[in-house]
């Protein structure tokens, strides 16, 4: 009788755990592993703007975008227009359906404060996910990158001279962007990596999709 009672308790506990997981929002994007075995989520072109369709609430509230432009090309005058649009993705949404979806998801103010940092002095031509994490952690520690609250998403834009890799995956072939989170100095650092694309409109769409997905994903830091 005692053994039967224990079995019933175990079954009930397992069912409760499944129920809790079912109620939690699913991560947006396909989960993959980086070079150290940490988890990241890749974004593909053509995905809907707001994660999980119209009406999904953003778990961490309205995102605060802090852009990091890596590579010498961002310092050129020919990239200034694109850079201005990318450093405030929400402000440049003008499609009516997209605007309605954003508001229903919890984005009430598209013109909130943003920050932007340009780093033209990147010597490596290939940047892995762990390279990106180390660079962000260093910039945060030295103060060249502002450290905001839990709603901040660091959006890393690469210029055309830099190649992004994620574990065994290569940008352009396997993904258009990805997002993840790691711990640095006791804080979660949520970030998005957007490799360079020739089409400005595609870059904006993919970057915004990744920004919102990173905000809605409650994944734990690596």
Mean pLDDT of 146-150: 77
Give a yes or no: residue 47 inside a domain: yes
Give a yes or no: residue 176 inside a domain: yes
Give a yes or no: residue 6 inside a domain: no
Domain that holds residue 199: 27-216
Give a yes or no: residue 43 inside a domain: yes
pLDDT band at 181; cut points 50, 70, 90: very high
Q: Cα separation of 101 and 191, whole Å? A: 22
Give a yes or no: residue 198 inside a domain: yes
- Residue 211 confidence (pLDDT) above 60: yes
Give a yes or no: residue 19 inside a domain: no
Give a yes or no: residue 82 inside a domain: yes
Q: What is the mean pLDDT of the chain?
A: 80
pLDDT of the residue at 184: 87
pLDDT of the residue at 3: 47
Yes or no: say if 2 and 195 are a contact pair by the CB < 8 Å rule.
Answer: no
Q: Cα separation of 221 and 153, whole Å? A: 13
Least trusted range by pLDDT, from 3-12, 72-81, 106-115, 172-181: 3-12
Q: What is the CATH number of the domain that holds 152?
A: 3.40.390
Give a yes or no: residue 66 inside a domain: yes
Q: Is the pTM of this model over 0.85?
A: no
pLDDT of the residue at 175: 92
By percentage, how much of the chain surpasses pLDDT 70? 77
CA 216 to chain centre: 9
- Residue 20 confidence (pLDDT) above 80: no
Least trusted range by pLDDT, from 25-39, 77-91, 149-163: 25-39
- Residue 122 confidence (pLDDT) above 60: yes
The total number of structural domains that make up the chain: 1
pLDDT of the residue at 149: 73
């Amino acid at each position: 009788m005692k053994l039967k009672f224990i079995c019933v308790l175990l079954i009930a506990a397992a069912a409760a755990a499944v129920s809790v997981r079912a109620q939690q929002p699913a991560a947006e994007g396909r989960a993959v592993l980086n070079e150290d075995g940490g988890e990241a989520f890749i974004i593909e072109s053509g995905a809907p703007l707001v994660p999980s369709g119209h009406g999904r609430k953003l778990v961490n509230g309205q995102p605060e975008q802090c852009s990091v432009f890596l590579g010498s090309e961002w310092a050129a005058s020919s990239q200034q227009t694109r850079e201005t649009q990318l450093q405030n993705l929400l402000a440049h949404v003008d499609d009516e359906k997209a605007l309605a979806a954003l508001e229903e998801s919890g984005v009430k103010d598209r013109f909130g404060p943003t920050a932007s940092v340009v780093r033209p002095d990147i010597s490596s031509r290939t940047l892995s996910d762990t390279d990106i994490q180390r660079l962000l952690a260093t910039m945060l520690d030295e103060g060249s990158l502002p450290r905001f609250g839990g709603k901040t998403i660091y959006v890393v834009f690469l210029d055309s001279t830099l190649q992004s890799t994620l574990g065994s995956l290569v940008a352009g072939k396997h993904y258009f962007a990805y997002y993840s989170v790691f711990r640095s100095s006791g804080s979660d650092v949520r970030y998005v990596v957007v490799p360079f694309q020739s089409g400005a409109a595609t870059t904006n769409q993919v970057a915004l999709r990744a920004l919102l997905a990173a905000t809605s994903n409650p994944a734990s830091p690596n």
